[in-house]
A and B are shown apart, each in its own frame.
Chain A
Amino acid sequence: MNKRFDPSIVGFFCNWCTYLAADLAGTSRMKYAPNVRVVRTMCSGRVDPQMILWAFRHGADGVLIGGCHPGDCHYQEGNYKALRRITLLRTMLPQFGIEPERLRLEWISASEGERLRDVVNEFTEQIRRLGPLRKEAAPTAAMAA
């Protein structure tokens, strides 16, 4: 590759843990890859599979969802529901020609700034290795709807 592929990744971060972890990483001035663009939701349970497909559809090479550790959900069990949905969706992704590795769910608590940095860097590298998501692979609006 002559020019290094710079993936664009959408991050759906839970307002109570992963989003705060990102804030903490900031206040601690940790440095990490700028590829993940964060969309804040109140709970990882709010992340709708269609939103994820929509992201792939509109040019995301990867999607990272950050929720609270099991048992720590601010809304009791939203993260478990996220887990179930994501697991299901991952099994469907190949049908759209999308490698399941492009979708990841991570538990990152508000105090785990370092972990956030590492996950973002590591995931960015993984997506970089996978290369850009072939546009024709992306689900059409119809599929997403």
Chain B
Amino acid sequence: MTTYSYYPGCSLKGTGKAYEESLLAVCGALGVELKELEDWNCCGATAYMAVEELSAFALAGRNLALAEQDPVDLLAPCSACYLVLNKTQRYVAEYPEIRQKVEQALKAAGLTYRGTAKIRHPLDVLVNDIGLKAISGKITKPLRGLRVVPYYGCQIVRPYATFDSQTHPVAMDQLLKATGAEVVKYPLKTRCCGGSQTGTLPEVGLRLAYILLKEAHKRGGDVLATVCPLCQFNLEGYQDKLASEYDDFVPMPVLYFTQLLGLALGLPAKQLGLRRSLVPSEPILARRNLHAA
């Protein structure tokens, strides 16, 4: 049984609940143990890092310091957390001035930092540690006929893509193929969804979401698969608004890749938080004769 330390991040406790639920369910089914990082705190968040860089580094630093106490890899499902934690580790190593300040701050909190934690994304772990072979072996309800659009978003691959291409990632494509789903060729797979903008500049964030969803639909996608709670929220949350603003807009369910994997593993819809969707996926699943258990 492989074990990982697990850093949920704030979103997975809120708008991204379904991500946490499906992730835990899938890991359980694949014999992966996740130990939630003891007393983790907010990662520092990109939006915040933009305006309070050092505090953000310090916040991330605390999580890393806590994680280091356990030799196992640290799992960060939220792309933003994944980026901030990785970036902090790199910059503390690269820039002495940052290192000195972060260490000083951690000292105030009675912590020490060595920079040994290995920050991983669940997608990386599932594809490279568990392995596609092992996973396809456990598929009981293949998602045959379901046309899935693989959307990676930005911060999982940029700038710290250690496990996949920064411009043309394929890990999720392979994973989705393993579930039996039909993977749609999607050139926008790493284009930013504008999530971090919708809060402050809605017209901008919405426009980016519209471009992604429109193209996904044009290429015949049934559902769009994401790896990040912010993308999921931004792409799903405002679809009614998009519908009212763009007459050629067609709503599309936006699911976490873990939810789709869960379905293929035959896990019950409840465990996968399918009902938390604002754009229900049941109709399309039904149309493809894929009724969740």
Physical contact A–B (CB less than 8 Å): no
